[in-house]
């Protein structure tokens, strides 16, 4: 593997640990939790992270053979259907493995290639990698807050506080 690619793969791997640490402690009871007035549940956030990782592997890094039905992106809102913890964990393991393969497939020169998407315009592949790493960290923080305070907020709302 080229040195720049190896460094960027290490960055992706380390950047994703914010998410994997929250994921490791997640329970099925956490999945429907939300923070009012946010419409997104913990389960939605987990699924969304997998959806976007697969989209990046396919559309940004052009990894062949990637099948993705980005339901959170397509629907644009939480339908309450993401409540199976083992299925969600398998999905985000697959998405991480797929994105990892897409990163590994890049040569050092590929990182300066400019790509364009409707979501974030023109970026080099290196900049796009920064985008997915920060996207994952951003939602991992949300997920941690939802898991920690989601149940408490629901109880307070029910008590009229």
In 3D space, the residue among 38, 1, 7 whose CA is nearest the CA of residue 130 turns out to be 7
The rounded radius of gyration (Å) of the Cα atoms in the chain is: 17
Q: Report the CATH number of the 3-159 domain.
A: 1.20.120.450
Sorted by where each begins, the domain ranges of the chain are: 3-159
Burial zone of 102 (CB within 10 Å; 0-12 exposed, 13-18 middle, 19+ buried): buried
115-133, pLDDT tens digit by residue?
Answer: 998 888 999 999 999 999 9
* Span 24-69, pLDDT tens digits: 999 999 999 998 778 899 999 999 999 999 999 999 999 999 999 9
Q: What is the pTM of this model?
A: 0.92
């Amino acid at each position: 593997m080229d040195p720049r690619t190896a460094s960027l793969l290490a960055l992706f791997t380390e950047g994703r640990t914010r998410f994997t640490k929250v994921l490791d402690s997640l329970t099925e009871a956490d999945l429907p939790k939300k923070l009012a007035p946010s419409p997104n549940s913990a389960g939605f956030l987990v699924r969304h992270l997998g959806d976007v990782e697969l989209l990046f592997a396919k559309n940004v890094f052009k990894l062949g053979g990637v099948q993705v039905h980005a339901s959170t992106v397509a629907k644009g809102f939480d339908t309450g259907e993401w409540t199976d913890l083992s299925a969600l964990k398998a999905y985000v393991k697959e998405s991480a493995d797929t994105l990892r393969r897409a990163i590994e497939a890049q040569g050092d020169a590929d990182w300066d290639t400019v790509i364009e998407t409707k979501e974030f315009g023109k970026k080099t592949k290196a900049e796009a990698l920064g985008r997915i790493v920060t996207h994952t960290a951003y939602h991992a923080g949300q997920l941690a807050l939802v898991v920690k305070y989601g149940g408490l907020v629901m109880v307070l709302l029910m008590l009229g506080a």
